[in-house]
Structure 1
Amino acid sequence: MDTIDTSGRLEEALERLHGSGPERLGRLTNHAPMVVEALAAHGQAGAVHRWLDRYQPKLEEFPASVAPVNDANWPSALGDPRRAADWIAYFTHAVRERPWRSVLADWWPRLLPGLYGGSTHPVIRVGHAVRALCTDENEPRRTELAHGLGYWAARHHPVSGITPLPAASTAAEALDAVPPITTDGRGFPARLVAVRQLPLWSGEVTAPDEARARLTELVRAATHRYATHGHGEETMLVHAATAPNAVLRSLDALHRDLWAPSLHAAWTASAAVTAMYAPPQPVTYTPPAHLTPEEVLERALAHGDEHVLKLTDTALDVADERALASALRAMELSAPLQS
């Protein structure tokens, strides 16, 4: 159901959002740019501003600059969330001076090791921006990519020291084999540090086409898994599917040499989120009705929650009944967006 939106509503919404910061309350992500792109991509551009009006109370002003980031000093600013405005300014200038694909090609391998920062939201935002640019190139969409890359650079957070466990044969089996960590209500960064072992499902893949196939399989498996495991944490477990899907969406804009490293980072992110929020036991889930993809999207839009809409977006990409069931499960588990 993807469509090329020529209404200009996405551009209007992005311009409206670029005066807002990438976060609120110092730690919570601004999901609005991702949601409005998803709505436009699936033929709901007419609903973009109505949804954004509902989300408006969650937006904060754009943060203040600290000091300019440039080609010489960027390593010292990488991973510093106080520098979000500086990073966004840097990338805004870059995509005005150079083709956006060239900027992405330079920075993807630098940022990829830090995909885990910001609860994986920065790479998800970049994935939405890349999809928008691959259908139509214009200044608001290029600026959105700059905001996504800047957010990623500011929240850059590498993961290391994970012991590989024996690999399973499929993505679904590998996710089942992820050992859950013991938690005490800690937030994402503390939980991420506690992840010390993960199955080595993607570790030996080097061929680009196999990496794409594996990544596609992972997105499908993680999306399906939400229906039976989403009750472990209805919001955070969404990212086990949406983060690798953001990487998958970006592959065609990247050199093929980057596909295998992208798979490895996406697998680690998906598996880590699975470990961090896995429920004690899965449940059997039967959807309340057999709905078309269009009907599922309409229900998600009426519900309004940003994570519900983003999981629905990924479910529509997977495009099978089990994926749509996961979207419906997210609507049951999540609180609706307040109007």
Structure 2
Amino acid sequence: MNETTRPTSSESTAAPAPDASGTLDEALERLHSFGPERDGWLSNHAPMAVEALVRHGQAPGVHRWIDHYRAKLEDMPDRFAEVTPDNWREALGDPRRIADWAVYFERETAERPWRDVLAEWWPRLLPGIAGGATHPVIRVGHSVRTLLAAEESGPRVGELAHALGYWAARHEPLPPLTPLAPVPDAGDALAAVARVPDRSGGIRSRLDQLTGFPQWPGAPLSDAREARDRLAELVRAATHRYAEYGHGEPIMLVHAATAPNAVLRTLPALPPELWAPSVAAAWAASAAVTAAYTPAEAVAPPAGYAAPITADEVFARAAAHGDDHTIKFTDTALDIGDATALAAALRSVELNPPAF
């Protein structure tokens, strides 16, 4: 892609104004009667998408968006068996207990500060970061961003409880992985990830085929600040990569960027000693999605593909397009904010089927 034809923005890294309309709280209350999945295991993206829409100035259209998305929502499943401090290990990774886990975390966040609950459960959940096709950790990332950016409210803390509960129910570690040769650069590391050989099944069958990843970062992290910087590097590399590889699996490949970005958004709420293991887990998630869905060949957008455009205009296009994955990926691209990231967001608008 020619540099002069990439979108540009000088405002893309500015923090949007907090939601003064109450729309997000209304939307979350509306959504919490529904389960986190449909059709067995497909994820409910609505809480994540509406958070991104509100954050980027699209609050007036949120309830209309939910009205369109309503056909993809199912009621919260029935309770199965109560999760307690004594039996949580046996309940971890049991999708029959999705509702039980939600109730457990609702109770925990009602009795203790949400940051304490998050810090206790983050290291327990990290090994299963790829569970639910990485959607649970992405949902946690959207929730934590909101809690850090504005005054806490019942629906926002409740959203964190539902997100953590979904992660606990879908917790599924990757198979044992052999550490391969270290690669210091995140973009080069993603390029070195081997594609899984059998691509005929869904994500769970593909992840079962993983055997090893390049070691990234190539050296131990020196401190928490370096962990944050390297994680930001990974998010940028995965976002940029979508511009040329997104055509392979336009929906699934967005998670190679949005999953590590969810971890990056959560870091400020975590104790610094959890930052380095968070980078390792984020790399595993991004590499796993890359291995499962990257096409054999890159396809560069044609010269002149994207005229200069602002970040706000890019997000407005994603919102009008309406697809949940496109909205969330564009939200991540705006966190990066550079020309290639915005071009990748426009590529997702082009590649994914519109919702409206």
2:213 to 172, 175, 198: 198
Is 1:24–1:58's contact at 8 Å kept on the other side of the alignment?
Answer: yes
Question: TM (normalized to structure 1)?
Answer: 0.98
2:194 alignment counterpart:
179
Measure the CA separation in 2 of the matches of 1:21 and 1:130.
Answer: 19
Aligned-pair distance for 1:203? 6.2
Deviations 1:68-96 (A, max 9, x none): 10100111100001100000000001111
Q: Which has the higher contact order (CA 8 A, sep 6+)?
A: 2
Matched, 1:214 2:230: yes
2:6 alignment counterpart:
none
1:87 alignment counterpart:
101
RMSD of aligned C-alpha atoms? 1.1
2:351 to 312, 327, 333: 333
1:54-65 correspondence runs (5 A): 54-65=68-79
Q: Which one-letter code corresponds to 1:312 in the other structure?
A: T
Aligned-pair distance for 1:169? 2.2
Deviations 1:195-254 (A, max 9, x none): 112110136433211111100000000000000000110011000000000000000000
1:215-234 correspondence runs (5 A): 215-234=231-250
Q: Which one-letter code corresponds to 1:315 in the other structure?
A: A
What secondary structure, in the 3-state scheme, does the structure 2 residue paired with 1:194 have? coil
2:128 to 100, 114, 120: 114
Q: Which one-letter code corresponds to 1:23 in the other structure?
A: E
Matched, 1:30 2:44: yes
Measure the CA separation in 2 of the matches of 1:151 and 1:53.
Answer: 23
Tell me the percent identity. 59
Measure the CA separation in 1 of the matches of 2:265 and 2:55.
Answer: 13
Unaligned runs of 5+ in 2: 1-13
Measure the CA separation in 1 of the matches of 2:184 and 2:342.
Answer: 25
Is 1:205–1:211's contact at 8 Å kept on the other side of the alignment?
Answer: no
1:295 alignment counterpart:
313
Question: TM (normalized to structure 2)?
Answer: 0.93
Is 1:203–1:264's contact at 8 Å kept on the other side of the alignment?
Answer: no
Matched, 1:76 2:94: no
Deviations 1:107-150 (A, max 9, x none): 00100111110000000000000001112211000000000000
1:162 to 143, 160, 177: 177
What secondary structure, in the 3-state scheme, does the structure 2 residue paired with 1:122 have? helix
1:5 alignment counterpart:
19
2:299 to 283, 296, 303: 283
What secondary structure, in the 3-state scheme, does the structure 2 residue paired with 1:215 have? helix
Unaligned runs of 5+ in 1: none
Aligned residues: 338
1:305 to 323, 342, 348: 323
Measure the CA separation in 2 of the matches of 1:205 and 1:100.
Answer: 30
What secondary structure, in the 3-state scheme, does the structure 2 residue paired with 1:166 have? strand
Measure the CA separation in 2 of the matches of 1:221 and 1:203.
Answer: 15
Deviations 1:22-79 (A, max 9, x none): 0000110000000001111222222211211111111111110001101001111000
What secondary structure, in the 3-state scheme, does the structure 1 residue paired with 2:35 have? coil
Measure the CA separation in 2 of the matches of 1:203 and 1:122.
Answer: 28
Measure the CA separation in 2 of the matches of 1:145 and 1:16.
Answer: 15
1:258 alignment counterpart:
274
